Amino acid sequence: MVSTSSIMEQVTLICPLVSAWSGTAKIRRDSDLAAIKGQMPPKELVSDGAKHIVKSEAISKLVSVRKAVQRELEKLGTPMCGGFLIPDKNVPKAMVMVAAKETEFDKELDALVTSLPDLYEAQEKRFPAWAEFLRPHQISGQEVRNRCSFRVAAFKLNEPHASAAATAFHDAEGCVVNSLLDSVAREADRIRKASFIGVSQIGQRPMNAIRELVGKLESFSFVDSRVYPTCQVLHSLLSNLPKKGQLSVNETAALDGMLAKLADPETVLVHGQSVLASQNQQAPLLPAVIQAADSAAAIADEEEATIEAPLSHIAQPTPAQAGWTQNLVF
Confidence (pLDDT) at 215: 93
Indicate the pLDDT class of residue 317, thresholds 50, 70 and 90: very low
Task: Reduce the DSSP state of residue 48 to 3 states and report it.
Answer: coil
Q: What percent of the chain has pLDDT over 90?
A: 52
Confidence (pLDDT) at 278: 78
Q: What is the mean pLDDT of the chain?
A: 82
Confidence (pLDDT) at 319: 32
Residue 124 pLDDT more than 80? yes
315 to 136, 254, 288, 321, 322: CA distances (angstroms): 72, 15, 14, 8, 8
Model's pTM, two decimal places? 0.76
Number of separate helices (H) and strands (E) present in the chain: 14, 7
Range 250-259 average pLDDT: 91
Confidence (pLDDT) at 34: 58
Select the highest-mean-pLDDT range: 50-59, 172-181, 273-282: 50-59
Report pLDDT digits (tens) over 215-253.
Answer: 999 999 998 888 888 888 888 889 889 999 999 999 999
**Lowest mean pLDDT: which of 30-39, 98-107, 160-169, 276-285?**
276-285
- Residue-by-residue DSSP string for 199-263: -S---HHHHHHHHHHHHHHHHTGGG-TTHHHHHHHHHHHHHTS-SSSPPPHHHHHHHHHHHHHHT
Q: Which letter does DSSP use for residue 291 in this model?
A: B
Confidence (pLDDT) at 237: 87
Residue 297 pLDDT more than 70? no
Residue 142 pLDDT more than 50? yes
Confidence (pLDDT) at 158: 86
Indicate the pLDDT class of residue 289, thresholds 50, 70 and 90: very low
| Burial grade of 45 (CB within 10 A; 0-12, 13-18, 19 or more) | middle
In terms of pLDDT, which residue wins out, 288 or 272?
Answer: 272
Residue 310 pLDDT more than 60? no
**Domain coordinates in residue numbering, the chain:** 16-150, 171-325
Select the highest-mean-pLDDT range: 39-43, 102-106, 166-170: 102-106
Residue 296 pLDDT more than 80? no
Residues 219 and 212: beta-carbon distance below 8 Å: no
